[in-house]
Amino acid sequence: MKSRYKIIALLAVASIISCKGNAQVILWNSLKKEYKHILNTNLAWDYGINYGVGYAYQLKFKCPILLDVEFSVPSGKNLLDDYKTKMGGQVKLHEYQNFILAIKIQGIFRRYENPSVRIINFGSEMSTTFGYYKPTWFLASEIGFDKAIVSYFKHSKLIKDNFPNIRDGWYEPSTGGNFYYGFQTGFTFKKHDIYLKIGKIVTQDFKTTPLIPYYTQVGYNIKIGK
pLDDT in tens, 36-62: 999 999 999 877 788 999 999 999 888
Q: Quick one: what percent of the chain has pLDDT higher than 70?
A: 85
Q: How many domains, the chain?
A: 1
Query: Tell me, what's the pLDDT at 195?
Result: 96
Query: Tell me, what's the pLDDT at 188?
Result: 94
When pLDDT is averaged across residues 14-36 and rounded to a whole number, the result is 74
Q: Quick one: what percent of the chain has pLDDT higher than 90?
A: 46
pLDDT in tens, 114-127: 888 888 889 999 99
**pTM, rounded to two decimals:** 0.84
User: Rounded CA gap, 15 and 6, in Å?
Assistant: 14
Burial call 103-123: b when 16+ CB within 10 Å, e when fewer: ebebebebbbbeebbbbbbeb
pLDDT at 86 over 80: yes
pLDDT at 105 over 80: yes
Instruction: Print the domain residue range for 94.
Output: 2-224
Query: Tell me, what's the pLDDT at 68?
Result: 95
When pLDDT is averaged across residues 176-193 and rounded to a whole number, the result is 91
pLDDT in tens, 144-159: 999 888 888 888 888 8
When pLDDT is averaged across residues 158-162 and rounded to a whole number, the result is 84
Query: Tell me, what's the pLDDT at 7?
Result: 47
DSSP states along 123-156: EEEEEEEEEEE-SSEEEEEEEEEEEEEEEEEEE-
What CATH number does the domain containing 151 carry?
A: 2.40.160.20
pLDDT-derived band of residue 16, with 50, 70 and 90 as boundaries?
A: low
Question: Long-range pairs for 65-70 at CB < 8 Å and ≥24 separation?
Answer: 65/89, 65/90, 65/91, 65/92, 66/26, 66/38, 66/90, 66/91, 68/24, 68/38, 68/106, 70/22, 70/23, 70/24, 70/40, 70/106
